[in-house]
Structure 1
Amino acid sequence: MPSVVYGTPATRKEIIELAAEEGHDADIPTNIGAISNLEKDSSSTRCESAAEKEVGVGVRKEKDLEKNELSVESLSTAETNEDTSELSDPNIVWWDGPTDPQNPMNWSWPKKWGTIMIVSAITFLTPLASSSFAPGIPDIMKEFHSTNSLLEGFMLSVYVLGFAFGPLIIAPMSEIYGRLPVYHTCNVLFIIFTVGAAVSTGMSMFIVFRFLMGCLGGAPLALGGGTIADIIPREKRGTAMAVWMIGPTLGPCVGPIIGGFLTQAKGWRWNFWLVTIVSGTFAIGCAILMRETYAPVILARKAKRLRKETGNLNLISKLQSKLSPKDLFLVSIVRPSKMLFGSAICFFISLYTAVTYAYLYILFTTFTSVYETQYNWSGQIVGLSFTGLGLGATIGQFIFTSYGNQIVNKHIEKGDYKPEHRLIVMIPGGFFMPIGLFWYGWSVQAHTHWIVPILGTGFVGFGMLMTFMPANTYLVDVFTIHAASAMAANTVLRSLAAALIPLSSQRMYAVLGYGWGNSLLGFVSAAMIPIPFLFLKYGEGIRKRSTLKL
């Protein structure tokens, strides 16, 4: 027999959890299979208990996406029977025993951590690049002879617009060709587009290259969690995920601190030359340290090699996808849109996070002018105005990880857990956001000591993290096998909001002033405080009445 098949049957819950971490729906093959592989015709010989008939004859016939009715137990028998039949099929290609060196889970720890560190470094750099040149915005406006306040904000936030669309293409490409070719391609194109931004001779050219930087810069955000899940067992994954999450949390806040000093010393273009140099170094590190980690692609290559060596054209990978490339793109693009506009839960949670994310980029696009005009800070130190957001977000990350898990585990032990319990920890975040906005706005208006508004933005950063993280985990719990599409819908809406809403921020402050301008934002944020309360009380009922189907 050309291959040895081993392993224990994966539960539905394991497949869903790993797929969510990898950023795709659970009907796409992951390292341990796919839910769609369990689909059978109604005339098949699988066990058809009353519970299974209630569910239907496959995941695509679930009664409803939001009702969260399928339990692990309801398909456990089918999963076991399915896996047993596969294990006995000599044409199924799997790993050659539990120590197969081709399996990324069996790599040495130095090799694993080399991969994790390079992916974490890239994940830190690309969000950093989104805001590092913020202190140089006045210089760019002067050099390009522009006084348009809309463009002043858009050339910063257009990068986030790329985050909305790039990963929709990057994710399915990685599932077809593997993670490694996508990383390499995105690294090279990101460097090219960064050079394009550095040598731009006009505003239009600069904005186009910034957008393309954002599209390609979204690659480590879309693929990084999946890479870690490919090589680290679940019980040992916490530290690696924590290191990887530093990038999205601190990158946008550290960038302007570096950019402030660099702009003063070398000019705004050197922010992009620095990113080019560092990303080039990381790209070389990728080429040296990284290997393919995505099990379905590795096994597909193995099956292809064995077909050639043995002449047995019936050999197929155990994780071979039943989805065509066209279907993968439909899953990645069409399904999130249908979920965003067809699900009240997905829409309102996404709206809440979108408003919060837009506020973050309003602050990003205005901090430089605020601290230069109100506190006479020079371009060299104006980047330090971002420290409050960074510290607040970091504290929020630790609080969410600690108390969020405690709350959920308590309800699981009591036996009354439901997805809405994920939103309990979101409640304080809803109060911190408007408090921070009022604090920041009126302290700047009153010319108080510079530390006072920075402390206020610390509250904003804390509230931001306490909104994002519970929202994502809630969407995973509600939509289970289609969790990645729900999170993609959330990402698209919040990125669009972050790119477009800040365009009017300079005009808003000019008309209302910093006090009332930020108070307007605070009032809108305060009006959204009831959302987690409403979902805690009515979320389960909304899910049960839902008619959303794909």
Structure 2
Amino acid sequence: MENGKGIKTEDPEIDQYRVDFTSPPDPDDPKCWPDTTKWIVTGVLSATGLNRIMVSTIMAPALTNIASSLSMNNEESVMSMSVYLLATAFGPLIIGPLSEVYGRSPVLHGTNIWFLIWNIVCGFSNSKGLLIASRLLAGFGASAIYALAGGVLSDIWPAEQRGRSLGLYILIPMLGAAIGPIIGGFITEATTWRWIFWSTSVLQGLMVVASLFAFRETYAPTILHRKAKRLRKSTGDSRYYTQFERDFNSRSAVWILQKSLTRPMRLLAFHPIIQIQACLSGFNYGILYIMLSTFADLWTSQYEESISISGLHYISICLGEVVGAFVSGHVIDTIFRRLKDKAKGAAAPEYRVPVMIPSAILAPTGLLIYGWTAYSHSHWLVVDIGAAILAFGMTFGGQALQAYVIDSYPDHASSASAATQFLRSLTAFGFPLFAPAMYTTMGYGWGNTFLACLYIVIGILGPLILWFYGPKLRQKASSF
């Protein structure tokens, strides 16, 4: 982005040349766009997230086939799936800040194409090294969705509609994590495992084309910069400027990039709010991926079902997430409005916290039902009900937590999302690695009981800290 070096910031009349959004409704202001346009942008982002997240789990039913085809041991085959999640830990740390320098649109389109290329390479891999490397690079491109989502939703939706917009956005990507193994199971039985990657690449190609036509730039500083640039060109007057250009008038492009690229890690290192959010979200995500990575094995090894039939049980997880997204979105907005009215119009991110508490009861309940019914080989429907309750509880609380992140850092929502995503992806990568050993040693009953006890402690303590100390922690936070 230009730094506006031709602008004379000492001119006493310079404010008349500042380019900004006019009083609402300004058609250039993303928050003033028609709801139809907002939902199209949200829908494109959500559909893009579906494929990127679905690819993270679609390999699960095919790991045995892939290991046999490429001469991999069990650890290497699990690594080929999990390394994708490892990339999503580090990718947002770069991609999120870049979207706050160059805008959301070029980052979305660029990572769409990057992900497509490396996902195709996965399908043509003829060695375990190439498969793991291409999965890592594909995951880097896919990780953009984790950084962009919070930023784009913050750009276009007001706080009063945060729950509803988050609910409908999260709905489709969350389905991707659960339906991935279902699709992967049927593809593995019907044809070669390589079609897991080729079929998702076809879908990704369609997403690339759709996003090019339907996605609009949402980041206000980028929109205003383009507007100021047009005015300077059309009028020949270099005094037109934006506030961003004025703030960084004396800074080099290298300094701006360095400041932006280090922001997520500075947030994670020095901001207690982000640290608490990252721990809550990371534990939540780790439990989800333990369930996703071991669910198919439960049905094939304990219930002796086929790969394709075992994948159908992921429908219970889908249902839990769908209902959780819809219910949570409505509850988040309702509670926010009531608490805001009670405070005579004063809004605060802490108004999202009450929605997090039920998750600390619902998710452990689901874990216990799922674990002990699986341990006793109960009817499959009871096990699936436990899994559905677990998915519902995690989605219910996770959505409120994401809304809290966006409200706490509205000007840098992408960087804040990237900071919390770092720990989430690490737990999603690491937790499934110890899950088989845990269930082998403790069994599904005691293994899930151990996880449920941790969930209750973390799930209640974290929100209470945010509720009572959140405002003070934000005030004491270091500059970012």
TM-score scaled to structure 1, two decimals?
0.74
2:56 aligned residue:
130
Paired letter, 2:96: A
In the alignment, which of 170, 173, 177 is matched to residue 252 of structure 1?
A: 177
For residues 343 and 37 of structure 2, what CA distance do their matches in structure 1 show? Answer: 41
Tell me the CA shift for residue 360 of structure 1: 0.8
* Residues 502-547 of structure 1 deviation map (CA, whole Å, 9 limit, x = unaligned): 2121222222222222222223223324414642674259639956
Are the counterparts in 2 of residues 176 and 325 from structure 1 also a CA contact under 8 Å? no
1:369 aligned residue:
297
Are the counterparts in 1 of residues 96 and 415 from structure 2 also a CA contact under 8 Å? no
Tell me the CA shift for residue 99 of structure 1: 9.1
2:340 aligned residue:
412
Count of aligned pairs: 469
Q: 1:138 to 1:344 in 2, by over 3 A?
A: same
For residues 115 and 540 of structure 1, what CA distance do their matches in structure 2 show? Answer: 31
Paired letter, 2:192: G
2:280 aligned residue:
352
Q: Classify the secondary structure of the residue corresponding to 2:101.
A: helix
Q: Greater CA radius of gyration, 1 or 2?
A: 1
Identity of aligned residues (%): 34
For residues 41 and 348 of structure 2, what CA distance do their matches in structure 1 show? Answer: 36
* Residues 292-344 of structure 1 deviation map (CA, whole Å, 9 limit, x = unaligned): 45443344334334434443333324553634544554454433333333344
1:208 correspondence with 2:138: no
For residues 186 and 200 of structure 2, what CA distance do their matches in structure 1 show? Answer: 14
1:447 correspondence with 2:377: yes
2:268 aligned residue:
340
* Residues 82-127 of structure 1 deviation map (CA, whole Å, 9 limit, x = unaligned): xxx76x62x3345799898877778888776655543332122211
Are the counterparts in 1 of residues 273 and 466 from structure 2 also a CA contact under 8 Å? no
Paired letter, 2:287: Y
Are the counterparts in 1 of residues 51 and 173 from structure 2 also a CA contact under 8 Å? no
Q: Classify the secondary structure of the residue corresponding to 1:177.
A: coil
Are the counterparts in 1 of residues 66 and 193 from structure 2 also a CA contact under 8 Å? yes
2:444 aligned residue:
514
Q: 1:517 to 1:98 in 2, by over 3 A?
A: closer
Q: 1:268 to 1:354 in 2, by over 3 A?
A: same
For residues 540 and 118 of structure 1, what CA distance do their matches in structure 2 show? Answer: 33
Tell me the CA shift for residue 393 of structure 1: 1.8
Deviates more, 1:192-201 or 1:259-268: 259-268
Alignment of 1:44-443 (within 5 A): 89=16, 91-93=17-19, 115-149=41-75, 151-224=76-149, 226-227=151-152, 242-317=167-242, 320=245, 322-323=247-248, 325-415=253-343, 419-443=349-373
Deviates more, 1:112-121 or 1:401-410: 112-121
Q: 1:418 to 1:312 in 2, by over 3 A?
A: closer
Q: Classify the secondary structure of the residue corresponding to 1:320.
A: helix
For residues 256 and 19 of structure 2, what CA distance do their matches in structure 1 show? Answer: 23
Paired letter, 1:379: I
1:32 aligned residue:
none
Are the counterparts in 2 of residues 420 and 535 from structure 1 also a CA contact under 8 Å? no
Q: Classify the secondary structure of the residue corresponding to 1:316.
A: coil
Tell me the CA shift for residue 280 of structure 1: 0.9
Tell me the CA shift for residue 480 of structure 1: 6.1
Are the counterparts in 1 of residues 93 and 265 from structure 2 also a CA contact under 8 Å? no
Are the counterparts in 2 of residues 191 and 276 from structure 1 also a CA contact under 8 Å? yes
Are the counterparts in 2 of residues 395 and 462 from structure 1 also a CA contact under 8 Å? yes
Deviates more, 1:472-481 or 1:274-283: 472-481
For residues 419 and 302 of structure 2, what CA distance do their matches in structure 1 show? Answer: 38
For residues 197 and 126 of structure 2, what CA distance do their matches in structure 1 show? Answer: 14
For residues 48 and 328 of structure 2, what CA distance do their matches in structure 1 show? Answer: 24
For residues 25 and 366 of structure 2, what CA distance do their matches in structure 1 show? Answer: 53
* Residues 441-493 of structure 1 deviation map (CA, whole Å, 9 limit, x = unaligned): 22122211112211111121122113322323334455565665444322111
Are the counterparts in 1 of residues 372 and 445 from structure 2 also a CA contact under 8 Å? yes
Q: 1:133 to 1:541 in 2, by over 3 A?
A: closer
Deviates more, 1:359-368 or 1:177-186: 177-186
Paired letter, 1:508: M
For residues 152 and 453 of structure 2, what CA distance do their matches in structure 1 show? Answer: 41
TM-score scaled to structure 2, two decimals?
0.84
For residues 521 and 424 of structure 1, what CA distance do their matches in structure 2 show? Answer: 22
Deviates more, 1:516-525 or 1:328-337: 328-337
Q: 1:133 to 1:548 in 2, by over 3 A?
A: same
* Residues 56-79 of structure 1 deviation map (CA, whole Å, 9 limit, x = unaligned): xxxxxxxxxxxxxxxxxxxxxxxx
Q: Classify the secondary structure of the residue corresponding to 2:100.
A: helix
Are the counterparts in 2 of residues 154 and 500 from structure 1 also a CA contact under 8 Å? no
For residues 483 and 221 of structure 1, what CA distance do their matches in structure 2 show? Answer: 11
Hey, which of these two has a bigger chunk of helix by percent? 2
Are the counterparts in 1 of residues 273 and 474 from structure 2 also a CA contact under 8 Å? no
1:465 aligned residue:
395
Are the counterparts in 1 of residues 47 and 173 from structure 2 also a CA contact under 8 Å? no
Q: 1:498 to 1:329 in 2, by over 3 A?
A: farther
Paired letter, 2:296: T
For residues 228 and 180 of structure 1, what CA distance do their matches in structure 2 show? Answer: 13
1:80 aligned residue:
none
Q: 1:142 to 1:521 in 2, by over 3 A?
A: farther
2:5 aligned residue:
none
Paired letter, 1:414: K
For residues 295 and 472 of structure 2, what CA distance do their matches in structure 1 show? Answer: 40
Paired letter, 2:357: I
Tell me the CA shift for residue 195 of structure 1: 0.8
Paired letter, 2:420: N
